């Protein structure tokens, strides 16, 4: 039963439709107040009464029945209590029947979402700073798929710019093919750092670097072969990390892909009279809209990020006909995306309103800041490996005879990294702490994985789940089922707000509710009907925890 619809249909509020009323109904944080609540504040202006009076009047006129057994008004809220046994059994059956599809929806059927995330730089390290964009984008990819959308994951590679001229210079001056093949990105970074050290002593080599980059643009065979090789070596390294993090992409079209697609954009800007000259450069003046000018071409005719992003947006619309295009990029680029989206709007693209910058805060380690030019970077692969090593040490201490402990440690260590990056609202800056993310007691990935392993252990010992009809529900069981019932709603909200942290918080809430149930009430050894119901509830909890972790890209080990 759709309880929200049922309640909304029984309410008669002048000037408000059934759908409008249903959309306002929420789940109270305290189940003792009721199972659902209607805040009456939005009706105050419409009905010219205080929210408290509206709630009181609605409560007195509502006729309770076998479905809604109690209605009370509390501080402007109309609270409803439903037949808890009926609702609990319905929730339980829904989850057990749906299994891994619980939470799935047809909400996005026929709609396409493009998500631009990770966007690592070719020949530069895949470092801790790339963690947020990678795991936020990947989680959103999985969430939208679960909701029925066609999703296109795009890795907009940073594969264009004078840094490649610098790298070619460095490779020719100090590089060795065998060493680069062996060390891949770490060796390329060593050469890049050496270049900047030398350029400080001899700035003239910057002219040579620019010349090499121009040769790439002009199609020089040797320079393009080196550039292609650097790109292949980078993708070999980063693909290992993507596999560890359960991250996938449908397109690796980077900046260089749009080189031959920018002229059309520039021509259209000129035709519409939007392109004006400023100190030799070409800009779109956005000052009338409260923004600084958007630089399209430098005075030497070179394109910029904005030029390529405009070309990329038009290509994506033409290719995928998206309903929404998300850019999971740090908040430092707020102005850039406001400019790009405004230029698209001025070009008369009605879909400019469907472009969204999903901004996030910065990730740093407790040791401090990073600099690629100085070689002060922390490779993401090293962070993952260190977490896996620490997880293995904990397992060796607490459960040394665990089967497949290396694989479990890898799942726990990697899960800790992902969960740690997604545990707070995405806009917050994060200081990454190994001890904090690997805590088995706190609001962490290992805590959720450990709870899942506990459910698996109970189910293994409990055996087949038999009949539990006629069982009388306990408060702890109802609270847990109420929490499990929130999952589909949390998925939709996390997609609407582009906020995967809502799922990490939800997973912790489910685990806490299960652990309260587990410690308060006996499962095994009880009489048959009680045991069967509690095993079924454990199975449903196990399903929801695993589904939530899977959406985050985290594995759920059966043993820990």
pLDDT digits (tens, 9 = 90+) for 99-147: 999 999 999 999 999 999 999 988 888 888 899 999 999 999 999 999 9
Cα-based distances in Å from 67 to 23, 64, 130, 195: 20, 8, 50, 74
Task: Give me the percent of the chain exceeding a pLDDT of 70.
Answer: 98
Tell me which of 4, 10, 22, 124 is the catalytic residue: 124
Mean pLDDT of 531-559: 97
pLDDT band at 369 (very low <50, low <70, confident <90, very high): low
**With 90 as the cut, is the pLDDT of residue 373 above it?**
no
Write down the pTM of the prediction.
0.91
Q: Kindly tell me the sign of the dihedral angle through the C-alpha atoms of 530, 535, 540, 545.
A: positive
Contact 170, 134 (CB under 8 A): no
In the sheet that 36-39 helps form, which strands lie side by side, from edge to edge? Answer: 36-39, 77-82, 68-74
In this prediction, residue 429 carries a pLDDT of 85
Question: Which tops the pLDDT comparison, 52 or 31?
Answer: 52
In this prediction, residue 364 carries a pLDDT of 76
- Is 124 marked active-site? yes
In this prediction, residue 342 carries a pLDDT of 98
CA–CA–CA angle 237, 425, 150 (5° rounding): 60
- Is 336 marked active-site? no
Long-range CB contact pairs, 204-207, < 8 A, 24+ = 205/169, 206/166
**Helix/strand/coil for 335:** helix
Mean pLDDT of 293-320: 92
Tell me which of 4, 127, 282, 546 is the catalytic residue: 127
No. of helices (H) and no. of strands (E), the chain: 22, 12
Closest of 503, 112, 519, 49 to residue 318, by C-alpha? 112
Among 88-102, 166-180, 205-219, 270-284, where is mean pLDDT lowest? 205-219
Closest of 138, 112, 159 to residue 253, by C-alpha? 159
pLDDT by residue (tens digit) across 278-299?
999 999 999 999 999 999 998 8
Q: Kindly tell me the sign of the dihedral angle through the C-alpha atoms of 260, 264, 269, 273.
A: positive
CA distance linking residue 327 with residue 308, whole number of Å: 14
**Could you tell me the domains of the chain?**
3-82 (3.30.1360.70), 112-272+302-364 (3.40.50.620), 380-426+436-552 (1.10.730.10)
Please give the helix or strand (H or E) that residue 150 lies within, else none.
strand 150-154
Instruction: Give the ranges where 112-220 is alpha helix by DSSP (H).
Output: 131-146, 163-174, 177-183, 185-201, 205-217
CA distance linking residue 154 with residue 119, whole number of Å: 8
CA distance linking residue 196 with residue 314, whole number of Å: 36
**With 70 as the cut, is the pLDDT of residue 396 above it?**
yes
**With 70 as the cut, is the pLDDT of residue 87 above it?**
yes
Mean pLDDT of the chain: 93
pLDDT by residue (tens digit) across 151-162?
999 999 999 888
Tell me which of 4, 10, 130, 142 is the catalytic residue: 130
By the 10 Å C-beta count (0-12 exposed, 13-18 middle, 19+ buried), 522 is classed as exposed
Residue 37 tokens read as 């609540």
pLDDT by residue (tens digit) across 447-501?
999 999 999 999 999 999 999 999 999 999 999 999 999 999 999 999 999 999 9
DSSP state of 327: E
In this prediction, residue 367 carries a pLDDT of 64
CA distance linking residue 104 with residue 84, whole number of Å: 24
**With 80 as the cut, is the pLDDT of residue 368 above it?**
no
């Amino acid at each position: 039963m759709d309880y929200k619809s049922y309640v909304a249909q029984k309410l008669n509020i002048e000037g408000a439709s059934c759908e409008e009323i249903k959309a306002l109904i929420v789940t109270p944080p305290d189940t003792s107040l009721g199972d659902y609540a209607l805040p009456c504040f939005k009706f105050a202006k419409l009905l010219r009464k205080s929210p408290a009076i509206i709630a009181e009047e609605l409560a007195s006129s509502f006729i309770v029945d076998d479905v809604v057994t109690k209605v009370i008004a509390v501080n402007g809220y109309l609270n409803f209590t439903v037949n808890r046994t009926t609702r609990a059994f319905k929730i339980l059956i829904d989850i057990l029947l749906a299994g891994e599809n619980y939470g799935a929806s047809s909400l996005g059927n026929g709609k396409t979402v493009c998500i631009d995330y990770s966007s690592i730089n070719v020949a530069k390290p895949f470092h801790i700073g790339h963690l947020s964009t990678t795991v936020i984008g990947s989680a959103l990819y999985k969430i939208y798929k679960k909701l029925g959308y066609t999703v296109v994951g795009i890795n907009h590679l940073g594969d264009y710019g004078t840094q490649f001229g610098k790298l070619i210079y460095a490779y020719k001056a100090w590089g060795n093919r065998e060493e680069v093949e062996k060390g891949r990105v770490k060796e390329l970074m060593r050469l890049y750092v050496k270049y900047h050290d030398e350029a400080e002593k001899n700035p003239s080599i910057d002219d040579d670097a620019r010349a090499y980059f121009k040769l790439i643009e002009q199609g020089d065979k040797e320079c393009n072969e080196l550039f292609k090789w650097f790109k292949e070596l980078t993708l070999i390294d980063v693909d290992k990390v993507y596999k560890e993090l359960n991250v996938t992409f449908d397109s690796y079209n980077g900046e260089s892909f749009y080189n031959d697609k920018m002229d059309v954009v520039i021509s259209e800007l000129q035709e519409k009279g939007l392109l004006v000259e400023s100190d030799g450069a070409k800009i779109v003046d956005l000052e009338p809209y409260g923004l600084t000018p958007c630089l399209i071409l430098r005075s030497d005719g070179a394109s910029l990020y904005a030029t390529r992003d405009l070309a990329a947006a038009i290509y994506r619309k033409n290719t995928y006909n998206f309903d929404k295009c998300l850019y999971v990029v740090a908040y430092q680029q707020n102005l850039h995306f406001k400019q790009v989206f405004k230029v698209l709007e001025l070009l008369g693209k009605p879909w400019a309103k469907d472009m969204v910058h999903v901004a996030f805060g910065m990730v740093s380690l407790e040791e401090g800041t990073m600099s690629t030019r100085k070689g002060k970077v922390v490779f993401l692969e090293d962070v993952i490996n260190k977490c896996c090593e620490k997880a293995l040490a904990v397992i060796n201490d607490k459960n040394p005879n665990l089967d497949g402990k290396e694989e479990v440690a890898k799942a726990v260590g990697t899960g800790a990294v992902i969960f740690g990056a997604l545990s707070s609202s995405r806009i917050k800056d994060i200081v990454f702490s190994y001890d904090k993310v690997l805590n088995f007691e706190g609001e962490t990935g290992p805590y959720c994985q450990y709870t899942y392993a506990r459910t698996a252990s109970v189910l293994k010992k409990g055996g087949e789940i038999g009949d539990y009809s006629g069982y009388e529900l306990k408060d702890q069981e109802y609270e847990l089922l109420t929490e499990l019932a929130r999952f589909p709603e949390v998925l939709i909200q996390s997609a609407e707000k582009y906020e995967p942290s809502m799922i990490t918080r939800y997973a912790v809430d489910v685990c806490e509710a299960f652990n309260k149930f587990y410690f308060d009430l006996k499962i095994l050894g009880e009489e048959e009907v009680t045991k069967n119901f509690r095993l079924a509830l454990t199975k449903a909890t196990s399903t929801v925890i695993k589904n939530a972790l899977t959406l985050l890209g985290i594995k759920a080990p059966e043993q820990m």
